[in-house]
Amino acid sequence: MSRIKVHDKEFELYIPQDQIERAIKKVADEISFEMAGKNPLFLIVLNGAFMFAAELFKHVNIECEISFVKLSSYSGTSSTAVVRELIGLDHSVANREIVLVEDIIDTGLTMRYTIDKLKKLEAKNVRVATMLFKPNAFKESFPIDYIGMEIPNDFIVGFGLDYNEHARNYPDIYKIVS
């Protein structure tokens, strides 16, 4: 499908599935190489990262643990400055190598909050893996260790990303038609 309608907005095909999957495979290879022997704890940030994570972990071939957390700062089509609580953390992070698995980093505020929280809980090291990164929107300075693709500041949906909870299920990524 080259165009989709989600709620009141039109979206056009932007990144096809095979291109996304190639980018994710590259991230998985980098992680497998760098994190081997460190027994990392991957924390998948729900809901948006579920599809990225499912694809990523088909190719991460090292000893590791995988768990899920939730934290949301987003409603509608522009990132808000409100960061809510980190919930669902059911593993001890003290002295662990943590890799946060995120769908997209926009301003970086959400990740900054999450990294700080995990450091307060005495994580040994916190790395970040994101499927997509918007460098022109980024306002923070923490390093992003693993990036699938860099994209401009367009609002996108699909491959786990939603517009008011719809369109997460599309296997391709679509961008808003303005």
51 closest CA partner among 177, 176, 167? 167
CA atoms of 128 and 138, how far apart (whole Å): 14
- Give the span between the Cα atoms of 146 and 41, in whole angstroms: 15
Q: Which of 106, 116, 154, 162 is catalytic?
A: 106
Total residues found in the chain within this entry: 178
106 carries an active-site annotation? yes
- Among 162, 164, 166, 171, contact with ligand 5GP (rule: CB under 6 A): 162
Least distance (Å) between residue 62 CB and ligand 5GP: 25
Please tell me the distance from the alpha carbon of residue 168 to that of residue 162, in angstroms, as a whole number: 5
Q: Out of 48, 131, 146, 173, which residue is the one contacting ligand 5GP (CB under 6 A)?
A: 48
Task: Please give the backbone phi and psi of residue 132, each rounded to the nearest 5 degrees, phi first.
Answer: -130, 150
Work out which of 11, 40, 56, 79 binds ligand 5GP, going by CB under 6 A. 79
Asked if residue 55 binds ligand 5GP (CB under 6 A), the reply is no
Q: Are 21 and 29 in contact (CB under 8 A)?
A: no
147 binds ligand 5GP (CB under 6 A): no
**Contact residue for ligand 5GP among 43, 108, 147, 159 (CB under 6 A):** 108
- Choose between 38 and 112: whose C-beta lies nearer to ligand 5GP: 112
Among the listed residues 6, 48, 29, the one whose alpha carbon sits nearest the alpha carbon of residue 159: 48
Site of interaction with ligand 5GP (CB under 6 A)? 48, 73-74, 79, 102-110, 155-157, 161-163
